[in-house]
Every structure is written in structure tokens, then in C-alpha cells.
Structure 1
């Protein structure tokens, strides 16, 4: 087998995997999803989802990457030559995500700077959309580049590409050894401050108060599985890519449990911090929790600046800490997303890592300029919904069906993981992958496709936006996946592991 990069230490790999899993969604999505789906009661379906879908798929992907020593397309080609297109589908989903994810990190970087003078003023929502993003109307209009978005975006890509150029050990691993501990320290400071604010108890009560009756609602269980699925970076090609750099002797199952539980621990921490702060602003302004509880861009860039405005002292300092946390969480995730297609291009076309980073990362950076325009926020919303939500969900469903039912390799992967790990996989893992996960992912995807391909479309956007920027982007991902799977592997990499003998052995 060819020489390839490896992680320098086990801790380096775990920090990188955790860094990929802990992203913007942990901070601005999980707290509201839990609150909106039963509060404290939501943790029951959440934990069930973690142990029946999240960690089982994580173990599966760690095992695939470790056993077949390749990018997602190469791994799937070695599993079965006919399944290579699925690997490319996941890679191009990640490519699409990277083009706009960098822009959101740029927003956070700009807001970290705004924090020092509370530049967003008293009307934080108007500042976000009108003053900062300069959002176009109508939404179909691209408009001109917005300097306040463009310059932070350039900085983000400069940091990410410089890390990727340095390689796995000196670049990705070294960066995550700095980013993740710093992120945890910064966020702990924020949480400690948040829980000591007036009204924090009201916010935490709203977050943890269980509404057991909601557990009879199927959408609550779907929300739990969706949250686990998207927050662990599974089926993005990321974990297959990262685990392909593991040394031959690696405790795969233990690594997966550490990664999964660390991610969930951070989500719980984020929920405590966010709802303590929401309780504070609700009490201070005389509003209700529902007036401020939300998810996504609005929570991070409109509600939190309002919370920061109301803080009794050191507003700018805590504002900086919050947005710096978003930047660090975003950078570690973006690096992992980019690594998927860098390794795939490197192996498919037998080019150097430097050339793969320049081509893959450079092209993604160039495309991301579209989201730095006045219409960028509209386009971003559509691409995010179809490429991320639909694309990752569909890729995950096809992956599990392929492994569990089409080529029936669950036992092969189980034997490989058991041969290396302290924790042996029993019937629990097999049942989860062959029965529970495919059924639930299938149900999720039916609901998702029904919602996203029938009017009204995403956030009420017209088909003129959703069609080309949402559905069109997803269609391009599918087309590129098929086309790239038809190219021959240069250097004969697809035969460096005999797919039939190696998999069955």
C-alpha cells in the first residue's frame, strides 16, 4: 500500500474528529430544537438516537476509512466498484457546503470585531439584514459584493487554506490542538457568565422543563434523529476521510464513543449557555422566552447581540468571546469539510496535495464570493436546505442501505473493528445498522423530500430562487458524482486493495 499521511497522535485524531462534529449547529441549532421538542423530555429520544444511529454510523465510517485507507470515493470503490458514485456524491455535498459555510464564519469574524463597540446598535435585526448584509430585494437579484462580508471571507479562506497546505499532522492536527481547547475554554467562560445573570434560572427552566406528552409526536423523534445525524458530521465523507489517516493499530470503537459523547456534551453546554442568556434578556426586557428562542442565523446574529447589549458590564468582552467561539467552531468544521474533496481529488487524479488544495480549496473560495453579494443570504438559505439537509440525509440513507443490504458488509466491518477495539460490537450494532437506522432514515427522508419539493418552498422563497440555487445545486451534486465516478483512477489506486478479497477477508 502507498505511503500516506497519518495523525501524529490519537489525541490529535480525536480533537480533529470532535472539531469537525462541533460546528455552528451545536451552538445555534441544538438548544432551540431541544426546547421546541419537549424540553427536558427531548433528551430521551436524543440519547436513543445517539446510541441507535449516531454512534453506530460513526463506528461504521471510522471502520471503513481505517480498513480501506482512502477518501470516500476510493473507500466505496474498494467496497464495491459500482458504489464509487456514492462516495463522490458525499464529497460534492461537502464541496457545496464549504462554499457557503466559509461566509457564515466570516460573518462571525466581523461580529467579533463589532462586539468591541457594540456596532450593531439597538435594532440588531435591522443592522444584520439591512446594514451589514445589505440583503437585496427582490431575492432573485444578486447585486454587488458587500465589502463587510467580502474582507472577513478572504481572511477565513486564508486561514483554512494555509492549514490545509501544511498537511494532516502539521496542518489539520496542529490547528485542532489549538482551536478545540481554546473553543472549550472560551465557551465555558460564556456559560459561567450566562448562568450568573439575572433571569438565567427562568431560561434554564424553560430549556429543561420536560413536556412528556410531546414524546407521542413522531416529529419529535424525527427531530432527535435529524439533530444527531447532522451534528456528528456523519455521511459527509468527513469521518471516512479522517479515519483513513489512522495508524494500523487504532481503537476504532472507543474513538467513536469519545467523539460522539464529546459532541453531545458540548451541545448540552451550548443549551445551558444559550437559554441562560435568553432567560436574562427575557427578564430584562419584560418579554417571554418564546420572543427570543430561535435557531440559526437569527439567534446568533440578531438575538445574541441584543442579549449582549443588555449585559450589565463587559458587554464587548463577552460579545467577542461568543463570536470568537463561533469562528473557532466554524473553522475546525470547515477544515474537515474541505479535506474530503482535497483527498478525493488527490487520489483520483494522482496529484500532489498542494495542487489538490489549490484546485479544490481555490475553486470553493471563488464560488463563495457569490454569497458575499447582496443576494448571498437568499442563495445561501436555498443551497443550505437542499445540499446540506436533503443531500446529507439522502447520502446517509443510501450509505446504510448499501452496507447493510445491498452488499451486506456489516459483519466484515464488525470483525475489523472488533479486532482492534477494547469495546466489542455485539448484536446491538448489527441491529441498529440493518434495521433501526435504515427505517428511521427512510422515514426522515420521506418527510424531508415532501417538505422541500412541494410549495411553499424554503422560508417562503419563490421557485425562481429555490429552483436554481436549491434544487439546481443538488442536481449538480448528483451530476458531478456520476461524471467523476466514470473517470479512471490514475496510478491504479482502485486496485491497491482488491475489493472482493479484501472486503471478504
Structure 2
């Protein structure tokens, strides 16, 4: 018996879609990863390879994922199934990656929420590093099972409740409505933070350190690889988000303009984050006498050690500065978490025929339970760190080129997708898009993967990768487990017929599904 075509909910407006996609891209990586990557790779000169990577890899891949989602009107597994029956595993691979990321990403938001409260009276005291590692997280090794942290668990549970409530409300009433409120709020919060940072003594020194170009640096291959890695890391491409969000687009949505808007908005946000971060690091250098090059300017150390130390030295409104910074982290992280969890929810909704509430309850409930078991513990930080490293460097970095090669080279569907995007887009794509997507992007990802694996295997006890080398059995199990999950799901569902896509004639002139024509289905 043939299944009925599935009628998907649409975004209520183009603005709603753009804000949701930008919210997904504008995550924690913009605030605490980009400034350090830029500083270490040529400062102001890094912006050149960064923008080249955005235009030759980030935007082309966004266009591809938006187009696949809209054309095949399904979550990642359903879209790849409709593309070709043998590629459904790619969609489930992306779902698995999203599940892993969602499970650990939520706890960082819970940390930030607690630190917004701690900022009111600087509860971390004079030694923020000891407070974070000993008092707050009680951090231990990867296999130090035992102590559960109830305070952190409460905050984490609230993060999950809020996330699942938004996703359960649907695309228009949930994700879009939330994005229209919280993304402008994030802009206001970060704008206030930026203004306050720029008024600090020493801010100019920090900006000089951040923007002073090292033209010799960009001649090296490693800087270009860092630029491409940053683009893949920050744009939410390669693990199903933009395909899923694209599936809710109206049929006549402008694909290429939307991709450029999302990509440029994300990059603009990253540059502003760099300005804010290095303004306050310049102030800290002036106050403590510790040069900027010897400070922490990336990752957990920046957010939860360096910034509390900065707050301690502020001459005025220290509590307000802390609240602005950590609430910005909460909002940015939460918008990204919503998009990450939507990927598996939509996948099970599509392929198992579940209603949205059932999919949210089962899939979201399992993810929340796993998160609450694994991360409010003494080994939670190490589990998070190792999992994040392997799923990003050996999960997304493999799944993304596999998807591109399958679509562009094996199935040779790039012309069909190009024509589909061009049919409703103001800016047309052609041979340059194919060259960027089919050649430059997979080549860059392959080289990045090669260097990542080489550096991991060669890491010594004094290497920054020492922990990942020591715990690589666990890390490879996480990365390999995501692929194993994908293959099992694809085999289980191989004989399960996918619902047919909505015929073109069902759409009205505005790109919505016509109510009159829907009845005829």
C-alpha cells in the first residue's frame, strides 16, 4: 500500500528562516573559537583566507544543503533516500552526529547559565581556574566515574525542557517564533557587551594584537587549512541542520540569497566576537602585566577562566559585564542546540511516521536522559572534550565530503540541484559553484582530515593533543559509532517505503501547499 505524501510545515516568513539559520550558525564557536584561531594564524591577515574559505566552501555547501532539503522536502535521511535509495545512510550519519553533539552541547549552556548567576557577586573569587575545575566541575579523568553534581544537573534539565518545548511547538510557533525573539536579543546583548569592552583601558592594545596582519603567516598551508576548518566548524554544515531547515522552505524561496545572508551574518558575528574578546584581553594585559600572547583566548579557558578573571579587575559594572557575557553564551548556545536537536526529531518523524510530540518525547527524551547521566559528573568535562574533538574532527570532517562526493560525483546530481536553486534565486550559480563544491571543498576537508589524524597519532605527552591521544579508543568509538548507527538504521529502513514528495503542481504561486490542491492528494 502506497504511503500518502507528507505535507510539511513551512517557515512563516523568509526572515524567520534566516534568523533560525543564523541562530544555528551563531553558536558558542563564534565567541570562543574564532578569536583564538584568527590570532594564531596571522591576525588581520587571517581574514583573507577566512573569507576565501567562506566563499569557496561555506556558501557553496550551504546552497547545496538548502537545495537538497527544499527539493526533496525531508529531513536528512528522507532527503537522501529520495535522492537515491543507497544514500539514506548519509542522512542517518548526519543524524547520529547531531545526536552526539546535542547530548554534550547542552551542558555548556548549563555552565554558562550558572556563571551568569555567579557573575552577580563574582563567586569564583580570586582564582577562577581553581573554582571552575575543583569547586564547580570537580573535574577528573575520563574514567573517574562517581560523583554526580545536582546543581549542574538542575540547570541542564531546565535547558532540555526549554529546548524540547520549543521544538515540540513546531516550526512556526516554536523554532521560528523563538528565533524572532532571541536572535535580536542576542544582538542587543552582544552589542552592549561590545560597547562596554571597547571603553576599557587597554582595549586598543588588544585590537592591535587581534588585527595586526602577519602577511608571512598566510603563505603557509596550515593557515589556509585553519580557515577552512573554522568555516566548516561554525556554519552548521555537514550534519543535517541546513538540510532539515531547508526542507521547511517555501517552494519559491530564494536559495542563493539566503545562503549568502546566513554565511555573511555568521562571519560578521565572528569578527565582532573577536573585537570584544581582544578588547577585554587587552584590558587584562594592562591590569596584570601578562602579555596578550600568554593569555587564554580560546575555548573553555577563555569563557570560564579568562573572562571571570577579567570581570574581577573591572573598575565598574563588573556584575553587569559578566551577566551580559554569560547570558549571551546561553542565548547563542541555545539557538544552536534547538537546531541540532531538530535534526533527529525530524528524521524519526519522517521515517517512522511519528507525530511531532511523539518524536520530541522519545528522541528528545533519550538525548536529555543521556546528557543528564553523562555530563553533570566529575568526568563530564573530559568526556565532553574528547567527544567534541573526535566527532568534529573525524565525524563531520568525514561525513561532509562523503555526502558531497556522493551527490556531485557518484550520482552526478549537481546539475539538477543547480537548476532547482537557480529557478527561484536572484543570483544564479554555475560552473564556479560546481568547482568550489565538487573540487575545492572535498579536497580541503580531505587535507584537514589527513593532518588531524597525523597530528593525533604523533602526539607526545607534552602535545596539546596528549589527552586525545591517551583517550583515543573512546574517541574513535564515538566517531565510529555514529557511522555504525547510520548503517544499521539504513539497513533496517531499506525496505520501508518513504512517503512520496509533494508533486510540483500542488504548490500555489506563493510557494505554499495549496489547500484546494492538497485535498486532491
Q: By the TM > 0.5 criterion, same fold?
A: yes
Shift of residue 174, structure 1, vs aligned partner: 0.8
- Paired with 2:349 and 2:176, the residues of 1 have a C-alpha distance of 19
Moved more, 336-345 or 422-431: 422-431
Alpha-carbon distance in structure 1 between the residues aligned to 2:345 and 2:276: 35
Q: For the residues of structure 1 that align with 2:151 and 2:34, how far apart are their CA atoms? A: 28
Describe the superposition over 1:261-314 as per-residue Cα deviations: whole angstroms up to 9, x where unpaired. Answer: 000000011000000000001001111001224211010000001111111111
Three-state SS of the structure 2 residue aligned to 1:340 is helix
* Contact 1:13 1:173 (C-alpha < 8 Å) held by counterparts: yes
Q: Which of 181, 200, 203 is the matching residue for 2:203?
A: 200
Equivalent residue runs for 1:27-426 within 5 Å: 27-136=31-140, 138-369=141-372, 370-426=374-430
- Structure 1 unmatched ranges of 5 or more: 499-505
TM-score if structure 1 supplies the norm length?
A: 0.96
Relative to structure 1, the CA distance from residue 163 to residue 489 in structure 2 (aligned partners, 3 Å threshold; closer, same or farther) is farther
Task: For 2:495 and 2:251, locate their aligned partners in 1 and report how far apart those are by CA, in whole Å.
Answer: 25
**Could you tell me which of 478, 482, 504 is aligned with 2:483?**
478
Which position in structure 2 is the counterpart of 1:502?
none
Secondary structure at the aligned position of 1:135 is classed as coil
**1:458, CA displacement in angstroms?**
6.9
Once the two structures are superposed, residues 216-261 of structure 1 have per-residue CA deviations (whole angstroms, 9 ceiling, x without a partner) of 2111000000001111000110000001001111001100000000
Answer yes or no: is the 8 Å Cα contact 1:54–1:260 preserved in 2. yes
Q: Is the Cα contact below 8 Å between 1:347 and 1:489 reproduced in 2?
A: no
Distance in 1, Cα, partners of 2:325 & 2:152: 19
For residue 21 of structure 1, the aligned residue among 11, 25, 31 is: 25
Q: Distance in 2 between matches of 1:98 and 1:81?
A: 27
Match of 2:513 in 1: none
CA-based RMSD: 1.6
CA contact (8 A) 2:9 2:248 kept: yes
Q: How many residues align?
A: 496
Aligned-residue offset at 1:389: 2.5
1:447, CA displacement in angstroms?
Answer: 1.2
8 Å CA contact 1:17, 1:259 repeated in 2 = yes
* 3-state SS of 2:253 partner: coil
The gaps in structure 2 that reach 5 residues or longer are 504-521
Cα deviation, 1:20-68, whole Å, max 9, x if unaligned, reads 0000000000011000000011001001000000000000100010000
SS at match of 1:461: helix
Q: Single out whichever of 242-251 and 380-389 deviates more from structure 2.
A: 380-389
Contact 2:81 2:498 in 1 (8 A): no
Question: What is the TM-score normalised by the length of structure 2?
Answer: 0.93
Within the candidate set 431, 434, 444, 1:430 is matched to: 434
The worse-fitting range, judged by mean Cα deviation, of 381-390 and 254-263 is: 381-390
CA distance in 2, matches of 1:292, 1:310: 15
